[in-house]
Homo-oligomer: A and B are copies of this chain.
């Protein structure tokens, strides 16, 4: 029982967009319990599309396709499917009326090019699209159940969840349950070593996904029914948690900044940052989700030394004596931010993000950070590897990780 993910679109084969649909669908199908044995993409070319559809229909039991359902002349997926099946295209009146009404609602009149989006291979099952004009459809090609969806992620994802996922689940004999644990601060090879043996002991599959610099650990359990699968996944996930210790900061979609935000909200503490090398990145991460104003008051990005002194009250003599990248200045920045922003807890970061500006004593990648609380100020420093972008992101996460540990005591 194998599955394939198939994308149609010249914008993909010319490399004009990253095919994020393919990764998303592969992950979802794997979670359902299908083996994705192939990912394929072809341009908007009739010959190439026909050849791929025939081949995929021979090689797999389930094929999930995106793209080529739009109104333009490039969009030829439906006619290619009809040609492979040797059936005509037929207008679906309900879809036609839905498209017409949708366009009217947005103040547009329906062109013949939109009308074609209501044409489907004879015998196809139509998959409604409440988020756009192009409905999807499913047909049998060869031995494969094939599902055709629009390429726009915001239209494709709900259609997948509402229609394709239940159908795909029905193809799999056993049930599957997955738990996603989010980690930071432990290299993937160490995580891997620490989790050795859990797959065999618990009969689960452990997978990884990098959301740099976080690593997500996915624990997948398949069993005869869903309650058994869920119980098995929970038991294995507990084992993972105990082996990884406080590198695990959350589950599912919870990022490290969101986990820190939740702790601050729960404890009714206000928070702010003073940032040099990260240039505002921590503030941006902390305000990514709505409701951040419950705990986040503001930040001072003190990129120039004058801003460190004028806005945070860091003594110019201290910067002169110790250098802007030093534990003393990091501490003074954190304490200055607590005062200037009138917050309970402040995080500061100052470092050499590179690629230039490093010295033997203070090399590229050296970052000092400090957390000031009403009770004390704690500082740390780390030498990060990698490019400027990596160093900045790692610094931001390391700083937030220190805030999390301070909050947890």
Q: Could you tell me which A residues sit within 8 Å of B by CB distance?
A: 7, 11-20, 22-30, 35-43, 45, 48, 52, 207-210, 272-273, 275, 278-284, 286-293, 296-304, 306-307, 310-311, 340-342, 353-357, 388-389
Contact = CB atoms under 8 A, between A and B. Distances in A.
Contacts of A48: 37-38
Given A39-B12, A290-B353, A301 B279 contact: no
Contact of A342 (B15, B282, B306, B388): B306
A15 B38 contact: no
Contacts of A280: 275, 279-284, 287, 299, 301
A204 to B, nearest CB: 14
Q: Chain A's interface: helix, strand, loop or mixed, by majority?
A: mixed
20 contacts: A7-B39, A12-B23, A12-B39, A15-B27, A15-B36, A17-B23, A38-B40, A275-B280, A278-B284, A279-B283, A279-B287, A280-B287, A290-B353, A292-B303, A297-B303, A297-B304, A297-B307, A298-B311, A301-B301, A304-B341
Given A310-B340, A310-B342, A26 B38 contact: no
A279 B307 contact: no
Given A40-B41, A279-B283, A299-B300, 7 more contacts: A13-B36, A14-B26, A15-B24, A37-B43, A39-B42, A280-B282, A290-B354
A344 B237 CA distance: 55
B311 A292 contact: no
A388 B15 CA distance: 27
Contacts of A292: 279, 303
B311 A300 contact: yes
A293 B301 contact: no
A341 B307 contact: yes
A127 to B, nearest CB: 21
A396 B189 CA distance: 38
Question: What 3 pairs between A and B have smallest CB-CB spacing?
Answer: A15-B27, A280-B280, A279-B287
Contacts of A340: 310-311
A19 B19 contact: yes
Contacts of A13: 26, 30, 36-39
A45 B35 CA distance: 11
Contacts of A310: 340-342
Contacts of A304: 293, 296-298, 341
Contact of A41 (B38, B45, B283, B341): B38
Contacts of A7: 39
A16 B192 CA distance: 15
